[in-house]
Structure 1
Amino acid sequence: MTGLPEIDPARLAEEMAADESVIVELAANGDIETLPRTIDIHFKGDREAIERLARDAPVLGFRFIDFGEFEDGDIAADLQVDGPVTRDARTALITRALQIEISHGVEFDGWGCAPETGSDE
């Protein structure tokens, strides 16, 4: 037992399936999924929960980047981590995001990154 909250396998599968279009788009732009890159991860929720997440980000393995605000009053936290986007890496990232959703009372609002082609351009 790792002490981390258990996530719903169906929710993980749903998130992974939703990401397939992102992976297709990255590949169409020459992405090499095994190359590390900066990945943006987004969460939203009420101010107190999001501020707690921002404070905890380093302990959770992420860098806090910025806050945002939605029209409905929810606040967003933008975090970053570096890594590849292979299936295993995405599964680990999304699993961790869903665990944070449970442990911090926030909503995982997706991830994104630029294609990594290995060129210096």
Structure 2
Amino acid sequence: MSLTAPDRWKAAWNADLAVLESLRANGDVPHVVREIDVSFRGPLESLRRLQASCSNFGFEVQSFTEADDEGEPWLFLVRDQTTDEDALRDLTMTYLQIEDSFGVECDGWGCVGQTKE
């Protein structure tokens, strides 16, 4: 599926907006920089390639599991950023680009809400 497919973008962005709404409902201050983690699933070799080049997308490796409880590989990446809409729009575009470039699937993102400036 293409990065530019409107339905794909809309589905990803709507899911991300739901996370943002939850953060805001719990008092998150969007302009505070914090650690955002993004997880990816896919073929082991694809995840290894992503692990090796994640810094090109502004990430560091948080953890890499070659076989989770179900025997599937799982890569967690992390970067520091805000949760304002522009920053999250960039995050969404970035993980969609990673999916296309590496043949992996984003399994979601998360962060600890920041309630103090």
The TM tier, using the shorter chain, reads: 0.7 to 0.9
Match of 1:53 among 38, 50, 54: 50
Range that drifts further, 64-73 or 88-97: 64-73
Please say if 1:97 is aligned against 2:100: no
Provide the identity percentage. Answer: 36
Q: CA deviation at 1:72?
A: 5.0
Q: CA deviation at 1:59?
A: 2.1
- What's 1:7 paired with? 4
Match of 1:42 among 39, 44, 49: 39
Write the mapping of 1:1-121 to structure 2, written as runs, cut at 5 A. 6-68=3-65, 69-118=67-116
Computed over aligned residues only, the root mean square deviation of the Cα atoms, in angstroms, reads: 1.7
The amino acid across from 1:27 in the alignment is: R
TM-score by length of 2: 0.87
Contact kept, 8 Å, 2:3 with 2:9, in 1: the verdict is no
In the alignment of these two chains, the number of paired residues is 115
SS of structure 1 residue aligned to 2:13: helix
Range that drifts further, 40-49 or 9-18: 9-18
**Partners in 2 of 1:9 and 1:96 — Cα distance?**
16
Contact kept, 8 Å, 2:62 with 2:76, in 1: the verdict is yes
